[in-house]
Structure formats: structure tokens, C-alpha cells
Amino acid sequence: MTTIAKDTAVKFNYTLKDDEGNILDQSPEGQPLAYLHGHSNIIPGLEQQLEGKSAGERVNAVVEPADGYGEYQEQAVQHVPRDNFQGVEDIQPGMQFQSEAGGQVMLVTVTAVSDKEVTVDANHPLAGKRLTFDVEIQEVRAATEDELNHGHVHGAGGVEH
């Protein structure tokens, strides 16, 4: 039986919850997530806890912020003049925009809007949160040479190209 290790292709079903037990995300019924282990395709804390597991195993993985989406960074919250949003008539909290800073493109989420400024947050929505993944491993196999060259799993649950 193949166990999860670097260069294995893994398919798993998951439910992601926060500390209060709220479901934040889950794999759609009958559509497990596929990833290439050891290639930074999933968050580090989950990848570490799946290492050595096999198909059919269930894992309850608790991932601290540093091993998930990072700690919440106050400096990632910016107050931007509303004039910077030329052509956008109705700006609402929750909207997302791409922003460029220092040649790096990032996704920012609007958190507040006033007549003169828009507050945006570049933190990942799950930054600073401890995450609990309930995982059921469906399949573990050696990755193909093509998958290793591309850095991701191909086919159902992976990348189609």
C-alpha cells in the first residue's frame, strides 16, 4: 500500500472548520481534492499531517495560523483614497480587487467604505485562524512524470490541460 510521501498524488475529501465549529469549506460530494505531495500545493500544516497516511485513513488535522494562511498582519490593512477606484460606482464591503504593490499583484478585500476612502485588507480571509480539517484520504499513488514536471496532479480533482 502506497503511503503519502514526496512525489505522490493524493485525493482526499475534507471539511474545514474554524475554532467555533463553523464549516468554512468542504470538498463537493464525489469530487475529492487532488494534490501533489511535497510541492506546496496545499497549506504546509495540513501537508505535514497527511505525510505517511494511506488511502482509507481519516485524519483530524488542527493547523495553527503560522502553518496555514499566516498570522494576521495589521500592516496589510490600508486606507485608500476613493478616487483610486475610478470607474467603480458602487463599492461595497466584501468586494475583492487586484492591487499591485512593488511589482507584486495581490488580492485585497474591501472591509469599509466612506465618502473619501476605502479600507482594504490584503490578508488572506483565513489568516490568523486555527483551522481544523476533517480529512478522508481516497487515493494515494505515485505521481506521473508529467505531473512532477508540471508540479501538480492532472485529471479529476486536479488540473485539466
* Residue of 124, 127, 68 whose CA lies nearest to 96: 124
pLDDT in tens, 27-41: 999 999 999 999 999
Cut 0.85: pTM above it:
no
Q: Which of 135, 134, 152 lies closest to 143 in space, CA to CA? A: 152
Q: Is 157 inside any structural domain? A: no
Q: Are residues 103 and 145 in the same domain?
A: no
Number of domains in the chain: 2
Are residues 63 and 79 part of one domain?
A: no
What is the tens place of the pLDDT at every residue in 2-61?
999 999 999 999 999 999 999 999 999 999 999 999 999 999 999 999 999 999 999 999
Question: Does 140 share its domain with 109?
Answer: no
Q: Which domain holds residue 90?
A: 74-121
